[in-house]
Structure 1
């Protein structure tokens, strides 16, 4: 049975490897949370400098950071930080785990939301190695903490919890569409807003196991109490 995402928390930390990772998955949920007065902090392992084909990393990284900051603003996230781990070569290293434990200790969230760490999002839909390595690093870092946040979720197709987001679809589309340079190169034949809408529609599809409501899906990976 699917369970509603918890509500008895005040601060969430969203941990992802790249710019646009929140917008491809959880932006509608984040918009709902911030609209309810909750604090959401983003921490990104890289600036996505390898993510725009034909653009030098020294140019792409700053461009993608600007787009990510605007995307975060649209959904009400005021606190966002970027680390400098190498895009497309993010690995579960002691250095990455140290960065994760440091931000958790500093932010003191009750909820962590991380990337899905499985091998496939669905049949034939491979999950990037950066995502898998980053998700493993988050789990490893969490497990060594003395003072653990109450919940650790992954935005996942292996669903245990859902956040109903029917009223937040348009703001999620706007947030993803803010990655205009990235999306325009990714698919030059499709308008950016159409790409954004298709992705948001896919990740917030009506769930037949939850009264056909539009939801963002999560898998509970850790809980302390």
Structure 2
């Protein structure tokens, strides 16, 4: 007889706290707001520095807006949303939205940013094919997969002077100080941090992406955002001692 009872997922460990600088690398405006802004708000409150690096300006994200106009709108929304959670530096790589290619160019761009900002923690978004474990889950986008995978690789590239030696020639010395890469929205999380201290600012931060949200759903933006963010945090609580939380898959280096 086959036992079809699903095993209880293991408890999530607390995220490490002994770091001062983080670099968050994602594909689009709003990726961090959907993924982990509550955690970032709490971290910056504690005196940590977080920098955002976006591969695109999200110019292909709103069907009713021409890409040139959309890029300007979404950049403005991203800078406003970052400020809400205490992030002052937001950089864009200007890869094309929707057609980001994993490869040496993307790895080099991210490695350069890691060398420039010298983070101990690097944050990115789910790099796997789906958003849920097992077959049949919602399909992830190629941009998320490419940027997430390139970020994991670039964390090592940044510390090797013989990979992308042109970066050293540009004055970007190798940085081998990345201690972890944390993947938000992972299908297989390992760690978490409480969402409670930063939740209200996370809601406000995602609401800054109003043009995108209004094109995405007919639901009132405030209702949609709060339901989405609190729902994820509350579901994560079952694996984090009952505490609503933001989860990550943590890769140590």
**Which range is displaced more, 12-21 or 153-162?**
153-162
Q: Which of 215, 220, 224 lines up with 2:250 in the alignment?
A: 220
| Alpha-carbon distance in 2 for matches of 1:150, 1:82 | 24
Q: Which of 206, 215, 218 lines up with 1:176 in the alignment?
A: 206
Q: Which of 47, 50, 71 lines up with 2:81 in the alignment?
A: 71
Any gaps of 5 or more consecutive residues in structure 2? Answer: 1-10, 160-175
Alignment TM-score, normalising by the size of structure 2: 0.85
Contact 2:119 2:177 in 1 (8 A): no
Matches within 5 A, 1:20-99: 20-99=30-109
Any gaps of 5 or more consecutive residues in structure 1? Answer: none
1:3 alignment partner in structure 2? 13
Contact 2:130 2:187 in 1 (8 A): no
| Alpha-carbon distance in 1 for matches of 2:105, 2:50 | 24
Higher fraction of strand? 1
Task: Give a deviation string over 1:69-91, Cα, whole Å, max 9, x none.
Answer: 00000011011111110000011
Q: Residue 100 in 1 paired to residue 110 in 2?
A: yes
Q: How many residues align?
A: 222
Alpha carbon RMSD of aligned pairs, Å?
1.2
Alignment TM-score, normalising by the size of structure 1: 0.95
| Alpha-carbon distance in 2 for matches of 1:29, 1:35 | 10
